[in-house]
Amino acid sequence: MQSARLDACSLLIYRHDDGFVQLIWHLVMMDTMARKMSALLAHPALAPVRHRWDLLPPFFQHLVKSLVIGMIAAIVLHQARPYVPGLVGAETTATDWAIKFWQDRSDSSQVAEERFVFLDIDEHTYRAWGEPLFVPRDKLQRLIQFAAEAPAKLVIVDIELTKHVPLQPQPLSSPSFQAQGSSPIADPDQALADYLRRYSERSHDDGTKAGSSAPPRPHIIFARTIGPFSPPEQAESVPGSAETAEPFREERPSEFLETVITASSILHWASPLSDRDDDGRLRNWRLLEPTCIGRTPHAIPSVALLSWAILRTPFMNHAAFSPGLFKEELVRRFVPPFSSCLPSRPASAPAISSSGSSWVLFDAVIAKQLTLSTRPSDLEQRIFYKFHPSTGLADLFSRIPALLVTEWEPRQPLSHDLVAGKTIIIGSSYEAGKDFHSTPIGEMPGAVVLANQINALMEFGQFQEVSREIRWAGLLLLIVIFSLSFSLFTKTWGARISTLVVNAILLPVSLWIFQYGWWLDLVFPLFVLQAYQKFVDMDVTPPPVIRKHQHANERA
């Protein structure tokens, strides 16, 4: 029998992947440990202990056995947690459900709530502009100018601006165009670059003038185009550590805006990348991106991280915060190895290494830490989605078609009050743009994904799991409740009462703290309960035949 069991285990190990192999290994070790414990208890030296145990009431014996089985099940499942089939997927489903529960719910006591406006290049705007291959730069310039002159709190441009497109725009004969006093531009790309250069210079002049009463000009963040993973050539032939073969993404410089934005203290590049799960949904952000640019190691913050830093101005070592210092420190800490950006590694190539594996900042508004790392936990990356294009939170998120800004009616320009003091995101939602993404609360344009990321970081911060002490204390309390339920009632009623306790206590508590950026796992206790039921039924409850035989002996 034992050889047959080992053959079956060997067959399972041979036919399944590594994760399932680890799970089978933990179960086999648990069975072995149980057999050793039984043999140890049967040792003659422990006869007095067994005698005293037999004198205890059956209820107490059953309760102690249940507690021991519950603890063993919890420890084994905790060790095998990454390999338990369905556990990770169930935890993801639970967080998705919690996000949907809090969607479109506003708490007026939240002082960290931000206001967002989406200047949307929608389908109607796209068709009115003549369905261009690229977003017309003169139109984009008007959108940026409208938001900057309001003034907005922050302007984010989620438009591809890598290629120089020196196209002659079509003359507009509409009254709205004539009313704005515009004329055809020979090179719209160059005109946009000139406008941004003047914008940056005027911002610098305003900051240097003593006693200037002009409001500060808003920072403008541009989404950087970042290519896919590109491993260095001949990396496999280079001996040494695996670090030399590690691939990094490549930043693609803009052909007409690179020098303007790089030299400015108020214009910034940022990464719009997010992580897509196996089911195609965007659940996790990437707060920073170690990259290569021009075969040079670099690191770039995400749009959400840079927006948070500009608006929250976290404390920075021994100097006052500035976006330039923030980006320099980010590069210093998270720049990739020099060899990762070269076609092949020369023998004398210097190595650039980061000074630490993480960088901890503090958000004084929500009183939470923000931990930056190249290897964050899955929970730390989770996006708390709150806005959808059809959201009902009109006071926190609104959408304005871009056509209302660029082609307004004569003598009826759009009021700046609609965007003043808010975070403005310029993006697109027309179908040909292919910028739609599946999320836990539905499909949405990339600009709305960015709005959710910024809002999540500023209102909730990174999701954090409650401390290990609280988790295990709560789990021990649940195991005691499970044991009492199965000891006082039948197995069926014990399972019902235990499930009711989880749903009536753990679920509401987990949902309540979720809205503050904390996660109390309710899936793992349910898995422990399922395993607990199996072991209790198998090891504690005596079969009916044995119970009848015991009753017959007592009567005799």
Nearest to 448 by CA among 212, 272, 190: 272
The pTM assigned to this predicted structure is: 0.76
Sort strands 368-373 and 518-519 into parallel, antiparallel or unpaired: unpaired
Q: How confident is the model at residue 5 (pLDDT cuts 50, 70, 90)?
A: very low
105-114, 185-194, 199-208, 380-389: which has the minimum mean pLDDT? Answer: 105-114
Q: Please say if the pLDDT value at position 275 is more than 70.
A: yes
Q: Contact, 447 vs 158, CB < 8 A?
A: yes
pLDDT of the residue at 62 = 67
- Torsion of Cα atoms, 280 then 286 then 292 then 296, to 10°: 180
- Residue 282's closest CA among 99, 433, 36? 99
Using DSSP, state whether 269 is helix, strand or coil.
Answer: strand
From the list 81, 78, 76, 86, the residue with the least C-alpha distance to 28 is 76
pLDDT digits (tens, 9 = 90+) for 92-111: 888 888 888 888 776 544 55
In whole angstroms, give the CA distance from residue 404 to residue 406. 6
495: three-class secondary structure by DSSP:
helix
Q: Rounded to whole angstroms, how far apart are CA atoms 263 and 197?
A: 9
Q: Which of 348, 334, 255 is nearest to 288 (CA)?
A: 334
Q: How far is CA 348 from the centre of its chain?
A: 39
Beta bridge partners of 358: 373
414 or 70: which leads in pLDDT: 414
3-class DSSP assignment, residue 288: strand
Residue written as tokens 């590694």?
A: 345
Residue 497, class by beta-carbon neighbours within 10 Å (0-12 exposed, 13-18 middle, 19+ buried)? middle
Cβ–Cβ under 8 Å, residues 427 and 119: yes
**In the predicted structure, residue 408 carries a pLDDT above the cut 70:** yes
CA distance 529 to 547: 26
Condensed to tens digits (0 to 9), the pLDDT of residues 454-493 reads 999 999 899 888 877 777 787 778 777 777 776 677 667 7
Once rounded to an integer, what is the mean pLDDT over residues 425-447?
Answer: 94
Instruction: Give the pLDDT band (50/70/90) at residue 266.
Output: very high
**Location of structure tokens 């055809």:** 184
Q: Which residues contact 111 (CB under 8 A, 6 or more apart)?
A: 365
Nearest CA to 283 among 92, 542, 102, 431?
92
Distance (Å, rounded) from C-alpha 520 to C-alpha 529? 16
More confident residue, 207 or 374: 374
Residue 445 — pLDDT band, cuts 50, 70, 90?
Answer: very high
**Which tokens go with 51?**
């005698």
**Averaged over 27-42, what is the pLDDT?**
55
In this predicted model, what pLDDT tens digit does every residue of 279-308 receive, in sequence order? 889 999 999 999 999 888 999 999 999 999
Report the Cα–Cα distance between both ends of the chain, in Å, rounded.
37
